[in-house]
Structure 1
Amino acid sequence: MRSALTALCACLIGLMLAGSAHSHALEPGYLEIIPAENDQWQVTWRKPQVSGKAMEIDAVLPAGCAPRRGGTPRFDGRAYVSGWITVCETPIWEGDIFIEKLQSTATDVLVRFVSEPGAPATTLRLTPDAPSARLPAAQTSWSVLTSYIALGVDHILAGIDHLLFVFALLLLVPDRRNLIWAITAFTVSHSMTLALATTGWISLPMPPVEAVIALSIAFLAVEVVTKNANRKTMMQRSPWLVAFAFGLLHGLGFASALQDIGLPHSEIPLALLAFNIGIETGQLMFVACLLIVAFILGKTGATRAISETKVGGVGLTVAGYAIGSVAAFWTVERTVAFFG
């Protein structure tokens, strides 16, 4: 199984480098519509950046509203933001909102809508397959649950750095029991900091946190390369403890994405729980896919050429250097961005 995982690692690293040098795919877009006065509505529209400029999608309000689009967005350090006041001659929930050109992308848009002052927010999720929707006049807990679970799954599967950390754990901890404990510790710790950071109990600047997350992957890569049966490191003695410590940092990264998306004020606990469930679901999907593919490769003999004859064999070393190279690049990139 280990040799199959190392072969799979080479394929994954190649795809990562071929697709993008960045650790995250696009964050979702965010559209907020809240009542102002009379028939006026305050609209806030955030769209991701692509190669240093705003993604070519646009929020379009129902036909009875004017203006239906915002002005030129400004960059706030993470996304391009525009805001405007619109006046609707007919109730805004009687028409459809539409995200123009969303169907030609691979990102989603979260919509937060408040029908009247003091009313609970409604949360919708628009996708490339369903780029338009009618705003409901009332919030449902079910819509919050499904939307934020889907956003959690999307975020973890798009977060290559988090997945690479989990992948390195699989290579380092062959014992099934210890692996379960390590992944459980990682889950518990990042769930803690995700909740604390999202609710405002802790706050750290994200650029250094993202740089240290990359360093955590580099640390595991060094462990993969230098692993020695005769010398027990902390990672080998207590993998769950190391996974727990680094999970605290990864939770801050998850929280940053959730803070950008926003939480419905009346359903914060439910949205937070749903987002975390989505993250764990995506993480388990990733691990299950790796193990299934590794099992198939092992059965077909496709990895015989790199099978290990001792701890620290050629296949594992190549995998460690591949992971470490990507992690080192991310560390330098994020450190330069922080000081720049």
Structure 2
Amino acid sequence: MRALICIVLALLFAWPVGNVAAHALDPGYLDMRQIGPGTWSVHWRKPDVSGQPMAIDAVLPDGCAPARGPDPAFDGRAWVSSWVAECDATITGQPIAIEGLEAQQNDVLVRLHPLESEPATLRFTPDAAVQDIPSEQTTSSVFVAYFQLGFEHILEGWDHLLFVLALFILVRDPWRLVGAVTAFTLAHSITLALATFGVLNVPGPPVEAVIALSIVFLAMEIVKGGEGRFRLSSQKPWIVCFGFGLLHGLGFAGALADIGLPPNDIPAALLAFNLGVEAGQLFFITALALSLMIWRVIAFPISQRATVVAAYGIGSVSMYWLIERISGF
């Protein structure tokens, strides 16, 4: 009994309940487009942190002037600034720096569009805040970058993790659970691709509210699971997960729209992002399973009462998100 209660409560206490968007992943974004010999149009997007721009700044190579942009303005989601920089004839091999990134937990994507070569995408992290501009971009480097983004996105997306946690508690059979998670991934891959290519266009706030509602539904199914009746959510969870995955995919599309996709490698980037999300989900489930196995070895078995307590904890957090998101329409 104590095992599941302790694990779930530890997760819930760590959860940022207030002001939670559908996606915790909110990278910075720097776009540089060459519009003439030595002339670049620069667009710089900083994440919002409690109503203020994140304390990072893009610094162009030494041969560019100005190397920094003007003060950013808030566009409703992030802090953006744009300017035109005059650079040396070639900036290949010169460093770009994201100043202050080493003190943050976010990533920054940099996209370069030279006139005479293929576009390139760089991923800056706190451990790699300064990078040289490459002479060419390979598909493999794009794949690795977007796989990592997908993996980190699911592990930092609190509402998506809470959905997987509820599913983990609801579905006891390991293979059924893996099948349900895979169905969830296939479904969100479909809507993510459709949204990326402009076939679907759904406003973000209603999607975020429905995502919270899907977690409430799973919490209710956990509580009702002890009644002994046939429940589609526990007997054939892949059907339920596929349906909810279609909705969650629209949420992923909002995050990916902020990140952007490399024009010449959209299929590879989409595939890598989805595989990264799937890997993150399976990693989270494995961590939960190992935690329970260790607890059972050193402590006590888990009772139905613990499951109900965990379900009420999950339901309370998701109901808070649901009300908050509806009120924000």
Could you tell me the TM-score, scaled by structure 2's length? 0.95
Structure 2 residue 131 is the aligned partner of structure 1 residue 140: no
Q: Does the 8 Å CA contact 1:211/1:330 hold for their aligned counterparts?
A: yes
Match of 2:247 among 246, 249, 254: 249
Query: Residues 26 and 265 (structure 1 numbering): CA distance in 2 closer, same or farther, change over 3 Å?
Result: closer
Mean Cα deviation higher: 60-69 or 229-238: 229-238
1:51-62 matches, cutoff 5 A: 51-62=50-61
2:12 maps to what in 1?
13
Mean Cα deviation higher: 9-18 or 66-75: 9-18
* C-alpha RMSD over aligned residues: 1.7
Alpha-carbon offset, residue 120 of structure 1? 2.2
Alpha-carbon offset, residue 187 of structure 1? 1.4
1:102-152 C-alpha deviation (Å, 9 max, x unpaired): 0000011011112225x3211110100110111112221122111111111
Please tell me the residue identity of whatever aligns with 2:101: L
Alpha-carbon offset, residue 16 of structure 1? 0.9
Query: Residues 138 and 154 (structure 1 numbering): CA distance in 2 closer, same or farther, change over 3 Å?
Result: same
Q: Does the 8 Å CA contact 1:115/1:137 hold for their aligned counterparts?
A: no
Query: Residues 21 and 291 (structure 1 numbering): CA distance in 2 closer, same or farther, change over 3 Å?
Result: farther
2:226, 2:258 → 1: CA distance? 42
Structure 2 residue 198 is the aligned partner of structure 1 residue 200: yes
1:283-322 matches, cutoff 5 A: 283-301=281-299, 303-304=300-301, 307-308=302-303, 313-322=304-313
Structure 2 residue 127 is the aligned partner of structure 1 residue 129: yes
Alpha-carbon offset, residue 181 of structure 1? 2.3
Please tell me the residue identity of whatever aligns with 2:260: G
Structure 2 residue 181 is the aligned partner of structure 1 residue 183: yes
2:170 maps to what in 1?
172
Alpha-carbon offset, residue 159 of structure 1? 0.3
3-state SS of the aligned residue for 2:36?
Answer: coil
1:50-89 matches, cutoff 5 A: 50-89=49-88
3-state SS of the aligned residue for 1:65?
Answer: coil
Structure 2 residue 37 is the aligned partner of structure 1 residue 38: yes
3-state SS of the aligned residue for 1:36?
Answer: strand
Alpha-carbon offset, residue 203 of structure 1? 1.0
3-state SS of the aligned residue for 2:229?
Answer: coil
Unaligned runs of 5+ in 1: none
Q: Does the 8 Å CA contact 2:37/2:89 hold for their aligned counterparts?
A: no
Please tell me the residue identity of whatever aligns with 1:69: R
Match of 1:326 among 304, 317, 323: 317
1:295-318 C-alpha deviation (Å, 9 max, x unpaired): 1111111x45xx31xxxx221111
Unaligned runs of 5+ in 2: none
Match of 1:265 among 263, 266, 270: 263
Mean Cα deviation higher: 223-232 or 150-159: 223-232
1:230, 1:294 → 2: CA distance? 24
Q: Does the 8 Å CA contact 1:149/1:274 hold for their aligned counterparts?
A: yes
1:9-44 C-alpha deviation (Å, 9 max, x unpaired): 1211111148x6525434111111110112100111
Alpha-carbon offset, residue 207 of structure 1? 0.7
Please tell me the residue identity of whatever aligns with 1:328: M
Q: Does the 8 Å CA contact 1:5/1:290 hold for their aligned counterparts?
A: no
3-state SS of the aligned residue for 1:70?
Answer: coil
Could you tell me the TM-score, scaled by structure 1's length? 0.92
3-state SS of the aligned residue for 2:328?
Answer: helix
2:125, 2:228 → 1: CA distance? 52
1:191-230 matches, cutoff 5 A: 191-230=189-228
Please tell me the residue identity of whatever aligns with 1:316: T
Alpha-carbon offset, residue 176 of structure 1? 2.3
1:277, 1:236 → 2: CA distance? 25
Q: Does the 8 Å CA contact 2:25/2:152 hold for their aligned counterparts?
A: no
Q: Does the 8 Å CA contact 2:4/2:306 hold for their aligned counterparts?
A: no
1:141-168 C-alpha deviation (Å, 9 max, x unpaired): 1221111111111111110111110110
Q: Does the 8 Å CA contact 1:3/1:316 hold for their aligned counterparts?
A: no
1:337 maps to what in 2?
328
Please tell me the residue identity of whatever aligns with 1:326: V
Alpha-carbon offset, residue 89 of structure 1? 2.9
Please tell me the residue identity of whatever aligns with 2:210: V
2:211, 2:120 → 1: CA distance? 33
Alpha-carbon offset, residue 80 of structure 1? 1.2
Q: How many residues align?
A: 328
Structure 2 residue 39 is the aligned partner of structure 1 residue 48: no
1:52, 1:241 → 2: CA distance? 40
Alpha-carbon offset, residue 191 of structure 1? 1.2
2:112 maps to what in 1?
113
3-state SS of the aligned residue for 2:55?
Answer: coil
1:64, 1:184 → 2: CA distance? 48
3-state SS of the aligned residue for 1:25?
Answer: coil
Q: Does the 8 Å CA contact 2:182/2:278 hold for their aligned counterparts?
A: no
Please tell me the residue identity of whatever aligns with 2:319: A
